[in-house]
């Protein structure tokens, strides 16, 4: 396609604009990482710098000694919760989708309509009741209430159902039945591997959103040994860090580091996955 002169100028403008937006995405994180390596005195001199300095080790030892923010406890608890929620969410959502696609049962349509209906329930309307209920059964200060609810994830069931409808032929199920495989085995050994691509996409999003969850863990957990990363981060607002500028930025950097690693290694799949999610409606 031949371009007119104005179109060439427009192209240049658009490209420059996109570069600006890209800088806007990176800059806050860049300043954060740089400041994590600068001393409080340097930051007091000028808090904006793009060049790393040499106080990383000092900031690190201050952070570990201050006592409130502990990145490793945060990593451990967030990892337990996120991995647990992802594994349970993927397995049981696939199982529910399998039940919806393969079997003809009386309430199948009603159950699917129900799943669509509850997809839109805002999580926070259940918070007070959820908290009181967990308190009653002494489940507060326990990571399980952050993991188990993912067994019922309507949005993921919806997605898995769409995927199965498009990719599963009932012949596979029927021929496995002729070989006398039990229904449960058919699901575990044939269907689950078949759903790998869908599971991979959804797993990333469940993992990340569980990792990032702040409100529910904040409400349930009061034992510092159980704090997940987002709660750890909120501790950086504590007065003991008031003038420890470098330490705050180091803590922030450590809190987002795993997400950066996950994002930049899997960005291709994540971007494709977001696009898939949008088509579902």
Partner 1 sequence: MRHKGINYAKYGYLFSLPFILSFLIFTLYPIIYTVMISFSDLKGAGMNEFKILEAPFDNFRLILNNNLFKTSLGNTVLIWVMNFIPQILLALILTWWFTSRVYSVRGQGAFKVLFYMPNIITAASIAMLYYSLFSYPIGAVNSLLQNLHLFSSPKDFLMDKWATRSIVAFIQFWMWYGYTMLILISGVLGINPELFEAADIDGASDWQTFIYVTLPNVRTIVLYTLVTSLIGGMQMFDIPRLFAMGGPDNATHTASIFIYTQAFEGPRFLNRAAAASMIMFIFIAILSAIIFYIMRDKEEEKIKQQRKLADKAATQKRGLSR
Give least dist CB 254 to partner 1, A: 10
Cβ count within 10 A of residue 150: 23
Residues contacting partner 1: total by CB under 8 A: 99
67-96: contacts with partner 1 (CB under 8 A): 92-93, 95-96
Pairwise CA distance, residues 227 & 219, whole Å:
11
Q: HSE of 214 in the Cβ direction (CA atoms, 13 Å)? A: 7
CA 150 distance to own-chain centroid: 13
Minimum CB–partner distance for residue 208 and partner 1 (Å): 6
Question: Cβ distance 243 to 225 under 8 Å?
Answer: no
d(C-alpha 89, C-alpha 209), whole Å: 12
Please give the residues from 1 up to 60 whose contact with partner 1 meets the rule CB under 8 A: 1, 3, 7, 10-11, 14-15, 18, 21-22, 24-26, 28-29, 31-32, 35, 43-44, 46-48
Subset of 114-173 contacting partner 1 (CB under 8 A) = 118, 120-133, 135-136, 145, 148-149, 151-152, 157
Tell me if 278 contacts partner 1 by CB under 8 A.
yes
Question: Three-state DSSP class for 281?
Answer: coil
Question: What is the smallest separation between the CB atom of 54 and partner 1, expressed in angstroms?
Answer: 19
Give me the least distance between CB of 177 and partner 1, in Å please. Answer: 6
Residue 245 found at the interface with partner 1 (CB under 8 A): yes
Task: Give the separation between CA 200 and CA 193, rounded to whole angstroms.
Answer: 11
Query: Residue 203, CB half-sphere, CA atoms under 13 Å: how many?
Result: 18
One of 66, 141, 183, 192 touching partner 1 (CB under 8 A)? 183
Cα→Cα distances 159→60, 185, 195, 217, Å: 43, 22, 11, 26
66 belongs to the binding site for partner 1 (CB under 8 A): no
| Identified binder of partner 1 from the candidate list 174, 175, 189, 265, rule CB under 8 A | 174
CB-nearer residue toward partner 1: 172 or 256: 256
DSSP class of 242: T
| Positions 247 through 266 that interact with partner 1 (CB under 8 A) | 248-249, 252, 255-256, 259-260, 262-264
Residues 6+ apart with CB under 8 A from 47: 35, 245
> Judged by CB under 8 A, does residue 195 bind partner 1?
no
In this chain, which of 116, 117, 240, 271 binds partner 1, going by CB under 8 A? 271
- The 197-236 contact track toward partner 1, x by CB under 8 A, reads -----------x--xx-xx---x---------xxx-xx-x
CA distance 200 to 90: 9
């Amino acid at each position: 396609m031949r371009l007119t002169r104005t179109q060439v100028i427009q192209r240049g403008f658009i490209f420059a604009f996109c570069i600006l937006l890209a800088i806007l995405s990176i800059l806050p994180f860049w300043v954060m990482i740089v400041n994590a390596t600068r001393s409080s005195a340097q930051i007091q001199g000028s808090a904006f710098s793009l060049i790393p300095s040499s106080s990383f080790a000092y900031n690190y030892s201050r952070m570990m000694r201050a006592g409130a923010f502990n990145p490793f406890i945060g990593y451990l608890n967030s990892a337990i919760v996120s991995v647990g929620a992802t594994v349970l969410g993927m397995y049981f959502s696939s199982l529910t989708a399998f039940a919806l696609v393969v079997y003809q049962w009386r309430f199948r349509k009603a159950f699917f309509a129900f799943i669509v209906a509850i997809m839109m329930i805002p999580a926070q309307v259940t918070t007070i009741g959820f908290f009181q209920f967990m308190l009653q059964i002494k489940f507060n200060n326990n990571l399980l209430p952050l993991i188990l609810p993912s067994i019922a994830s309507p949005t993921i069931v919806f997605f898995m159902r769409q995927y199965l409808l498009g990719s599963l032929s009932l012949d596979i199920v029927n021929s496995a039945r002729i070989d006398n495989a039990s229904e449960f085995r058919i699901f575990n050994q044939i269907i689950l591997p078949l759903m790998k691509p869908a599971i991979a996409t959804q797993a990333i999003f469940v993992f990340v959103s569980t990792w990032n969850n702040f409100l529910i863990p904040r409400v349930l957990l009061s034992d510092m040994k159980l704090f997940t990363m987002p709660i750890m981060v909120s501790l950086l607002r504590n007065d003991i860090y008031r003038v420890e500028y470098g330490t705050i930025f180091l803590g922030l950097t450590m809190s987002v580091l795993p997400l950066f690693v996950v994002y930049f290694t899997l960005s291709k799949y994540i971007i494709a996955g977001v696009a898939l999610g949008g088509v579902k409606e």
